[in-house]
C-alpha cells in the first residue's frame, strides 16, 4: 500500500519540481509575472503589422516599425523602435521567433540609451531606442515561420512588461 501511495505522489512531486525550476530559471519571481500579466494590456492590430502597444501599471511601451530584414536563408536583422514612456527603466532581455529561433542582442558601445547590461538592452525611462543602424541590434539566423502575409511572429521578453508578441514585417535584405 505504501508503494501505491508513493507511486501516486510521484507525478505531483515531479510537476512541483518542474514548476520551481522554471520559476528560478527565468530570473523573475512568479509574483512579478503574475502582477505584470494582471495589469498590462497589449494592443496589436492585424491591420498594422510591426506595431504593438503595452500599457499597464508602471508599463508604457510602444514598439513601432518592426521589420525583419531577411535573406533567402533566413539570416538578417530585426529593426524596430521602442519607446519607454514610463518613469521606470526597462530592459529587452530576449527575442524569439518561431521554431525555437532566437535573436542575438548587441548593445551600443557607449552611453546609457541602448547599452547592453546584465539585464539586457537598457531602455531608460522616457526615451526612445532605435534598434538597427548605429543603435543596438538584433541579429537573426536561420529564421523560419514567415507567414503568407510576409510577416514574422516575434516574441520580445522585457524585464518589467514581460512577454510581448507582435508580427514584424518581412523585407528582403
**Residue written as cell 536583422?**
77
Comparison of pLDDT for 164 and 22, the residue scoring more: 164
pLDDT at residue 2 is higher than 90: no
Average pLDDT, stretch 155-168? 95
Residue 58 has pLDDT above 50, yes or no: yes
| CATH class for the domain made up of 42-172 | mainly beta
Tell me the C-alpha to C-alpha distance, in Å, between residue 164 and each of 71, 156, 157.
25, 5, 6
- Flag whether pLDDT at 11 surpasses 60: no
DSSP string, 72-127: TTS-EEEEEEEEE-SSS-EEEEEEEETTTEEEEEE-BSSSSTTBEETTEEEE-TTE
pLDDT category, 42, cuts 50, 70, 90? low
| pLDDT bucket at 44, cuts 50 / 70 / 90 | low
| Domain boundaries along the sequence of the chain | 1-39, 42-172
- 112-138: pLDDT as tens digits: 678 778 778 999 999 999 999 889 999
Instruction: Report the pLDDT value the prediction gives residue 47, as an integer from 0 to 100.
Output: 66
pLDDT at 108: 83
Amino acid at each position: 500500500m505504501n508503494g501505491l501511495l508513493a507511486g501516486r505522489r510521484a507525478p505531483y512531486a515531479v510537476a512541483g519540481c518542474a514548476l520551481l525550476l522554471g520559476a528560478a530559471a527565468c530570473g523573475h519571481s512568479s509574483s512579478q509575472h503574475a502582477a505584470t500579466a494582471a495589469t498590462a494590456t497589449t494592443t496589436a492590430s492585424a491591420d498594422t503589422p510591426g506595431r504593438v502597444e503595452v500599457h499597464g501599471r508602471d508599463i508604457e511601451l510602444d514598439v513601432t516599425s518592426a521589420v525583419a530584414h531577411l535573406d533567402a536563408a533566413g539570416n538578417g536583422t530585426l529593426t524596430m523602435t521602442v519607446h519607454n514612456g514610463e518613469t521606470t527603466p526597462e530592459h529587452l532581455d530576449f527575442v524569439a521567433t518561431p521554431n525555437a529561433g532566437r535573436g542575438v542582442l548587441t548593445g551600443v558601445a557607449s552611453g546609457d540609451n541602448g547599452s547592453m547590461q546584465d539585464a539586457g538592452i537598457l531602455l531608460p525611462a522616457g526615451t526612445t531606442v532605435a534598434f538597427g543602424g548605429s543603435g543596438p541590434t538584433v541579429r537573426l539566423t536561420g529564421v523560419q515561420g514567415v507567414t503568407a502575409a510576409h510577416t514574422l511572429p516575434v516574441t520580445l521578453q522585457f524585464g518589467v512588461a514581460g512577454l510581448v508578441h507582435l508580427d514584424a514585417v518581412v523585407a528582403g535584405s
